[in-house]
Amino acid sequence: MSYTINELETPVPLVDLDRLARNLDRAAAYATEHGLGLRPHIKTHKSPRIASEQLRRGAVGLTCATPFEAEVMSSVCDDLLVAYPPVGQPRAARLAALPETVKLTVALDSARAVDDIAAAARDADRPIGVYVELDLGMHRVGLPRVEDALALARAVRDKAPLEFEGIAFYPGHVREPVDRQAESLASLSRAIAHAIETFDRAGYRPSVVSGGSTPTLWHTHELPGVTEFRPGTYVYNDRTTAAIGACAWDDCAFTVLATVVSTAVPGQAVVDAGTKSLGREPMRGTDSADGFGALLDRPEVSVKSMSEEHGILDLSRTEWRPSVGDRVRIVPNHVCIVVHLNDTIVGVRGDSVETSWPVAARGRGYEVELTANTSST
């Protein structure tokens, strides 16, 4: 049966399957070439199906942020890093309850997190690996002083069944265009070298040094001592990734198909993809583009403003004048957010609908527990 995107209700998220495969292949080849462990962050796709494709291409394991993501991914992978502080009894206990066949590692930066995950590990009678998280410039989580990180590694060693496995950092502050990252990467390299040396001297040589992002992906091998990297966005890519040169525009595999629903106000066109379909993510790392997404076939046309179900196209840089009923494909600024807004992704080749899959790890996965508890009040 012939079935094209023209028959789909909009707004709907599409993934170009050929581009997806190319993106997966390229990162896998890079990891192999440089002897790096690719441990992709699944936050971008939240799909066991895409995760399986990453593992089949040689990924050493997966990175997750939430307990639910780890639960969903445990169906396809037995080596999971939860790169998020395991703080609080509910979160720690849920992580420790992952299938015993899963080698579980967490990243953390506080004594409280050590205590919480140690208690959960003891209760569940399972080993849990620990990366101590360093702040190497992003200033989000992670310990800024290496000495503090080392003290935490000591605390981990004292808390069996926790096992100190290495150090982690996230270079989310390196957002310059790829060809202008040299200075940031040099600074990052010095910080990494200092951390490794400090740990090593104290007898805590990290067997894993885990870092990396999509913006720095292709420079990971230039960071001395890094053994694994955790890019997420590279599977689909997005407008920001293309703008900083970490992918080509033609590597953007993910679009939102939308319909022009109004041209009543002169000089603009309104599509049915708004904040509930595109998110409201700014461009980062570049001053060359504004708006919240751009048309795949007309990158000069951006989504200049949005309401929840309305996106307003900026027609100031184009002669093109769409009609009500026309359809457009929008490359979002930040794809991870957009995936999270959807339940189902449609896989296409050209205009042909080939398949669809659920965003299985979207949400928190705790509905049943709440309802069950509630029924007894």
288 vs 371, beta carbon nearer its own copies: 371
| Pairing, β 311-314 against β 268-271 | antiparallel
Cβ 367 to its own copies shortest distance, Å: 5
The least CB distance from residue 288 to its own copies, in Å, is: 21
Of 31 and 233, CB closest to its own copies: 233
Nearest to 275, CA basis, from 306, 243, 319, 317: 306
Question: Of 249, 241, 260, 240, whose CA–CA distance to 322 is shortest?
Answer: 260
β-strand pairing of 37-38 with 228-229: parallel
Q: How far is the CB of 111 from its own copies (least distance, A)?
A: 8
Q: How far is the CB of 151 from its own copies (least distance, A)?
A: 12
Q: How far is the CB of 4 from its own copies (least distance, A)?
A: 10
Other C-beta atoms closer than 10 Å to the C-beta of 267 total: 9
> Of 65 and 289, which CB lies nearer to its own copies in the complex structure?
65
Nearest C-alpha neighbor of 306 from the set 289, 292, 320, 324: 292
Q: What is the distance between the alpha carbons of residues 42 and 230, in angstroms, rounded to a whole number?
A: 9
Best CA proximity match to 108, nearest among 80, 88, 83, 89: 83
In the complex, minimum distance from the CB of residue 29 to its own copies, in angstroms, rounded to a whole number:
27
Q: Rounded to the nearest whole angstrom, what is the least distance from the CB of residue 138 to its own copies in the complex?
A: 9
Which CB sits closer to its own copies, 30 or 91? Answer: 91
Q: Which is nearer to its own copies, 118 or 143 (CB)?
A: 143
Minimum CB separation of residue 315 from its own copies in Å reads 14
Pairing outcome for strands 62-64 and 37-38: unpaired
Residue 228 contacts by C-beta under 8 Å, 6 or more apart in sequence? Answer: 36, 37, 38, 39, 60, 208, 209, 210, 211, 212
Contact 6, 337 (CB under 8 A): no
Neighbours of 88 (CB within 10 A): 13
- CB 209 → its own copies: shortest distance, Å? 18
Nearer to its own copies, 93 or 243 (CB): 93
Minimum CB distance to its own copies smaller for 6 or for 101: 6
One-letter identity of residue 291: G
Of 23 and 277, CB closest to its own copies: 277
User: Can you say how many angstroms the Cα of residue 211 is from the centroid of all Cα atoms in its chain?
Assistant: 13
| Nearer Cβ to its own copies (75/352) | 352
Is residue 168 within 8 A of residue 146, CB to CB? The reply is no
CB 144 within 8 A of CB 110: no
